[in-house]
Amino acid sequence: MIEEKIQEFYVASLEDVLDGMDIKELEWILKDFEDEEMYEECAGIKKALDFIKKKTIKEIKKEYKQIINKDYEK
């Protein structure tokens, strides 16, 4: 259950960035969630930020599509 929530926020964060959200805005959201002690949500957003900062948009799209396709196959 915890892993599912982390994955949900990871995927949502990737999607937000692909839809044009600035990384700084995502970092602000992370800070708000930290203030509210929403740990699983923070873990998912942090995982996405770590990934996004090291990858190109093309690589982010590829990761997002792979996850979405896996979820669709379930």
Phi, then psi, of 28 in degrees rounded to 5: -65, -40
**pLDDT for residue 2:** 87
Residues 5-58: pLDDT tens digits?
999 999 999 999 999 999 999 999 999 999 999 999 999 999 999 999 999 999
Reported as half-sphere exposure (CB side, CA atoms, 13 A), residue 51 has a value of 22
Of 6, 16, 18, nearest to 47 by C-alpha is 6
What are the DSSP E strand ranges found in the chain?
none
Q: Which residue has the higher pLDDT, 73 or 37?
A: 37
pTM metric for this prediction: 0.91
Cβ 34 vs Cβ 66: under 8 Å:
no
